Amino acid sequence: MKITSVHNRIINDCLRIKEKPGKPNDRLLIEGLRIIKSAISANVSFLKCFYTETLLKSAEGGRLMAEIKSLLADPGNSCIEVSPSVMKKLSDTETPQGIILEVEYRKPELKNINFKSKPLVVVCDRIQDPGNMGSIIRVSDAAGADAVFVVEGSCNPVSAKCIRATAGSIFNLPVVCAQSTDVINFLKSKNIPLYLAEAHGNNAVYKRDFTGPVALILGSEASGAGSAFKDKADFLVTIPMNDKTESLNVSMSAGICLYEVLRQRRPS
């Protein structure tokens, strides 16, 4: 089966997923070899695979396609060759790699989060840049966080750009979208203190004790965290900087704070 028209019913269905990823029907489109390999490792359920002839003829693409076919319930009908123009329409990048998967994505909920003995949670409050959001999810995964909570006013964590920025980490830990009041009440009910990262202050991050439960609150790139978290924060943390430096990128700040948590928790 090969689709050459962008008006095909199957393609139009996928375009609706592209327009509202993760919202109407718990499906996502993912593209690129790296992300797809990460999805395979995370045992994500594949629903459809769209590929180009060029991808299939490449050595790496051929091997990947063989693996994907073994994971699809009905590869004969779910593995679909498309023309370059159709691939371009489905893709969210300027230079598509020639493969896109429709995958099942079940949105995690607060009530289903399982914590380790020393919980570590990252809360994104009004983070609006998908690249920053994706990088925060990626470094949270790398640092061993239990979950990332995304509250209102933030960008969609399962948008195509955000998923690419996670480099596959979106499939490795729960990313929960919830209202700020629900997140605060949930964390308080679990006795997890709120550590609010602020751009300027006297509370150097390396002076705080992170050996117990931690919820790290990261505010918007422009104005920091909102009043809901500022009012309920248990501790403030700041990354010391040269006087001439006004601020750090929020995803970089997340990495510095998270690895300070990790450093303190690991044996000397």
* Mean pLDDT calculated for residue range 58-67: 94
Give 158's contacts (C-beta < 8 A, 6+ positions apart). 21, 22, 28, 105, 170, 175
Instruction: Work out the pLDDT band at 1, boundaries 50, 70, 90.
Output: confident
Q: Mind listing the pLDDT tens digit for each residue in 243-267?
A: 767 778 999 999 999 999 999 998 7
Residue with tokens 């359920």: 45
Q: Which residues, other chains included, contact 130 with Cβ-Cβ below 8 Å and sequence gap of 6+?
A: 155, 156, 159, 161, 162, 165
What CATH number belongs to 110-265? 3.40.1280.10
Q: Looking at this protein, which amino acid is placed at residue 180?
A: S
Q: What pLDDT is recorded for position 268?
A: 66
- Please state, in angstroms and rounded to a whole number, the distance separating the CA atoms of residues 114 and 248: 31
Q: Is the pLDDT reported for residue 217 higher than 90?
A: yes
At 19 the pLDDT is: 86
φ, ψ of residue 253 in degrees (nearest 5): -60, -40
| Amino acid identity at 133 | M
Nearest to 265 by CA among 86, 100, 144, 91: 144
pLDDT in the model for residue 22? 66
pLDDT tens column, 131-164: 999 999 999 999 999 999 999 999 999 999 999 9
Domain 2-104 is found in CATH 3.30.1330.30: yes
Of 16-30, 113-127, 136-150, 194-208, the one with minimum mean pLDDT is 16-30
Per the prediction, the chain carries an average pLDDT of: 93
Is the pLDDT confidence value at 103 over 80? yes
Domain spans of the chain, in order of start: 2-104, 110-265
